[in-house]
Structure 1
Amino acid sequence: MAAIAKALGYRLLRIRHRGGLGVDDGAVPYRTSVFDDDVPGVANLDPAFLAALRRAAADAAGDGVRFSVNSGWRSPAYQAQLRREAVAEHGSEQAAARWVSTPETSSHVKGQAIDLGPAKAQAWLSEHGARYGLCRIYRNEPWHYELRPEAVEHGCPPMYANPSEDPRTRHRPD
């Protein structure tokens, strides 16, 4: 951990030990921004998505609002660990699916989702995000945003109650 903290300019880390999974798997240090190209959780985001996030973050900064990345791209191993933790916390696969997708269906693993904070940033993006094609996807996750380019002209689509209602997150057998 000390080497990672040093490499990232001694930023405080808020990464729990997850069996050897860390920054290279998508965990992000505390106060990571969408401009931190040295953090894989940001650098591995879809380029069009990242560009939209950076435009929004720059404009939000003009309003005194700072975007902090809580989670972005994740490796399949990291996503699987989050899913196992959610099953343990919520008691079943079905209950966990309301909060955490599988590695096969996660937008985070594809580099197409970001979890932002603090609440002020979430509120700003909720109000202004459609201008950039950035939409909140789940009612139970005010921090989770994805790129929906059509939102620039048509507004964000209706939200799903939670990830388990999103057809993209339903596991399809091979």
Structure 2
Amino acid sequence: MTVFDDTVPGVANLDPALLRALRRAAADAADDGIRFYVNSGWRSPAYQNRLLREAVAKYGSEEEAARWVSTPATSQHVSGDAADIGRGDATAWLSEHGAAYGLCQVYRNEPWHYELRPGAIDGGCPRMYADPTQDPRTRG
């Protein structure tokens, strides 16, 4: 049984360990009546750049856009290390249970953005950054 839609662009290109963790979590969430929707997984650099340009137009500056969209060089989506989960019930489920699978919300302002943190299985998820501008990985 498919526990979430693997046909969403970029799901197949996710880091294999992240994809396995998502599938395990989705299977267990399904037992609770929750269905995962991966809205965005891996992104090409060109697509990430388009999202960034759109965010600059929407928010009025590169600085404000950076709170929501990383550059292609620093995006965890471009490297296949992040997935955006849709629907509030799925993100609420992950917020409560995700650490058991190593799945952690990384940015406080993006409750849909999850990354694999294997250490979370034993020690819980690390403290979230307020937004991507606080993440040292996005300052490249």
Q: TM-score, normalised by structure 1?
A: 0.77
Counterpart code for 2:87:
P
On the 8 A contact 1:34/1:42 being kept in 2, the answer is no
Q: Is residue 124 of structure 2 the alignment partner of residue 160 of structure 1?
A: no
Cross-structure match for 1:22? none
- Contact preservation (8 Å) 2:24, 2:101: yes
The runs of 4+ residues in structure 1 deviating greater than 6 Å are none
Q: Structure 1 pair 34/42, CA: closer, same or farther in 2 (3 Å)?
A: farther
Task: Please tell me the residue identity of whatever aligns with 1:117.
Answer: G
Of 78, 95, 99, which aligns to 2:68? 99
Question: May I ask how many residue pairs the two structures share in their alignment?
Answer: 138
Name 2:16's counterpart in structure 1: 47
User: RMSD over aligned Cα, in angstroms?
Assistant: 1.1
What's the counterpart of residue 82 of structure 1?
51
Structure 2 gap segments, 5+ residues each: none
Unpaired runs of at least 5, structure 1: 1-32
Which of 109, 123, 133 is equivalent to 1:140? 109
User: SS of the counterpart of 2:118?
Assistant: coil
**Which structure has the larger Rg?**
1
Aligned partners of 2:8 and 2:38 also within 8 Å: no
Name the CA distance, whole Å, in 2 between partners of 1:34 and 1:61. 9
Distance, in Å, in 1 between the alignment partners of 2:13 and 2:36 is 17
Contact 2:107 2:113 survives alignment (8 Å): yes
Tell me the amino acid that sits aligned with residue 79 of structure 1: Q
Indicate the percent of aligned positions where both proteins have the same amino acid: 72
Q: Which residue of 2 aligns with 1:127?
A: 96
Q: Is the 8 A contact 1:35 1:54 kept in 2?
A: no
Letter in 2 for 1:139: R
Q: Quick one: distance in 1 between partners of 2:53 and 2:32? A: 39
Higher relative contact order (CA 8 A, sep 6+): 2
CA–CA distance in structure 1, aligned partners of residues 50 and 4 of structure 2: 24
Give the match for residue 38 of structure 2: 69
Deviation of the 1:69 alpha carbon: 1.0
